[in-house]
Structure 1
């Protein structure tokens, strides 16, 4: 089997990177506390079973919100914290 020098170099440079690219980054920032001022302002709960808000509808969770980033559990609204994928806040927007 003959492998060109160019192909060998490409494989040698990219193969070590593949494990890092394929793994998810979990919680890049500390998990948002429900006691934080910004969490209270948007009625954030880390578990939807505890949500008692008139705007909440069954099935709405951070994981299916437009503002949620599944790669690091981040949220556009809470830039310094991660949020629970099974959480909810009143700013929930259906993912398109």
Structure 2
């Protein structure tokens, strides 16, 4: 079967766009830190700082979030960003863990 240049280009564009879309979807969900992750559990990470157990973590104070922590590597406007504690996993800017530091 002969493939024309036009058919080849159309097929290439279709396959290429599918790969880009699936990669973006994978990157969006695969890189987020889960509260169930053993490293996250070790430091009491919560995706929502308002759900921190204040009896278990008495050093938590209102207003502390990953977004204003010195270990957070995202921008102030990012919903998720990198953290030096968790390597390539992204933490929620509204989250919190016991390693919070504002220094």
Does the alignment reach a TM-score above 0.5? yes
Distance 2:99 2:49 in 1: 14
Structure 1 runs (4+) deviating above 4 angstroms are: none
What's the counterpart of residue 88 of structure 1?
96
Q: How many residues align?
A: 70
* Residues 25-53 of structure 1 deviation map (CA, whole Å, 9 limit, x = unaligned): x96x6110000000000000000111012
Q: For residues 1-96 of structure 1, what are the structure 2 equivalents within 5 Å? A: 30-52=31-53, 53-71=57-75, 73-95=81-103
Could you say which structure has the higher helix fraction? 2
User: Which residue number corresponds to residue 10 of structure 1?
Assistant: none
Distance 2:60 2:87 in 1: 23
Structure 1: gaps spanning 5 or more residues: 1-25
How far off is 1:91 after superposition? 0.3
If asked which structure has higher relative contact order (CA below 8 Å, sep 6+), I would say 1
Unmatched runs of 5 consecutive residues or more in structure 2: 1-26
